Amino acid sequence: MKTPIYLDNHATTSVDPRVLEAMLPFFSETFGNAASRNHAFGWAAEEGVEEARAQIAAIVGAGAKEVVFTSGATESDNLALVGVAEFYKDKGNHIITAPTEHKAILDTCHMLEQRGYEITYLDLDQHGSIDLDQLAQAITDKTILVSLMAANNEIGTIHPLKEIGRITRERGVLFHTDATQGVGHMDIDVEEMNIDLASYTAHKIYGPKGCGALYVRRRKPRTRLTPIIHGGGHERGLRSGTLNVPGIIGFGKACEIMQAEGVAGREHLLYLRDRLHQGITHEIGEVYLNGHPTERHPGNLNLSFAYVEGESLLMGISDIAVSSGSACTSASLEPSYVLRSLGVGVELAHSSIRFGVGRFNTEEEIDFVIKRMVEVVSRLREMSPLYELAQDGVDISKIQWNQH
């Protein structure tokens, strides 16, 4: 077994060897521009792209013509929100989302607020779940879009997409889901769930970085967008720019593998995740699960370790690749905004670790991580005066500290 052990599969995944094998010819042999319609090199590239488009559409139950290629889920989120806001501005200026969404949604919403749009951020319970009644009540005659993610990138909580889609369809409001963490790990069917727009990306499902997709419903109802990138009119005018052909081929192959191995893959993740959770909590106390106990991503385990400082914990387990907070914001020393939105205290939020179990992790690796976590947490707690006080029955929250 090699170290370091990689358990940060929500940040990114390694490229599956089968995906790489499918991509390689498109770098050097079939290297044409898919928009070059005058010769065989372009035709071959276009043929590969269209085959991949069908694979990428199929994983969410969409038609091939409903997939628009982007540079990744962040761009897809931006195109969905800004594209809808611009196109439907005469109908309304109100968007509904939640405070635990990815920064690609939240930062775009903040930008739209500065342009005069109104954003409603739904309340969440302690597991990060929304109240469907509150969602229904929040919709007004000015609401044009509801954007709620499939599975949370930090705590793994899954939103009830089918129920959300039923509400939005009844009220004539568009429904966008950031499905980046959910695709392949949960059942997503855009028809059955009444989803109008869905963002996802290759590098979270063992494909390459730099290639994403936005599903855009073509009928019943047709969803319209104003493009945010101009020039050349590629992707039916919705996203100009030369297509990343090798990336798209890899994305397609990654989706094909996910569909073929989906159930077995989920069972593998669940088994390893639960083994990790039980192994840690059996050996050490005062460990708290963040996110929904059952309605969650099968590979996600987010734990807070009381009386342990998060940075010290990460330094102590330097041979294990995990994250504290989300990868897109972990450069910051601020506690996770997702955990704070759930009402988790600052101290516990600072001591949270996100384990992202993936396709290539093994039982041997999980057992090593359990042993290592128990060692490091126990050692850090031995050095903590607060832990000693808590063991003696002192309520630390009631201590009045002297200030000098």
Residues 195-254 have pLDDT tens digits of 999 999 999 999 999 999 999 999 999 999 999 999 988 988 789 899 999 999 999 999
Local structure of residue 186 (DSSP, 8 states): B
* pLDDT higher than threshold 70 for residue 389: no
Average pLDDT over residues 90-103: 97
Partner residues linked to 118 by β-bridges: 94
- In tens, the pLDDT along 335-374 reads 789 999 998 888 888 889 999 999 999 999 999 999 999 9
* CATH fold for the domain made of 5-9+262-393: Aspartate Aminotransferase, domain 1 (3.90.1150)
In the chain, CATH 3.90.1150.10 sits at 5-9+262-393
Q: At what angle do helices 245-283 and 363-382 cross, to 10 degrees?
A: 50
- The residues assigned a catalytic role are 328
Query: How far is C-alpha 95 from the chain's CA centre?
Result: 20
User: What CATH number labels 17-257?
Assistant: 3.40.640.10
* Percent helix / strand / coil, the chain, rounded to 5: 40, 15, 45
Closest of 174, 180, 138, 142 to residue 159, by C-alpha: 180
Spatial CA neighbour of 119 closest among 157, 85, 151: 85
List, by residue range, all CATH 3.40.640.10 domains of the chain.
Answer: 17-257
Residues 6+ apart with CB under 8 A from 310: 324, 350, 351, 352, 353
* Phi, psi dihedral angles at 156 (to 5 degrees): 80, -5
Confidence of residue 385 (pLDDT cuts 50, 70, 90): low
Is residue 329 pLDDT above 50, yes or no? no
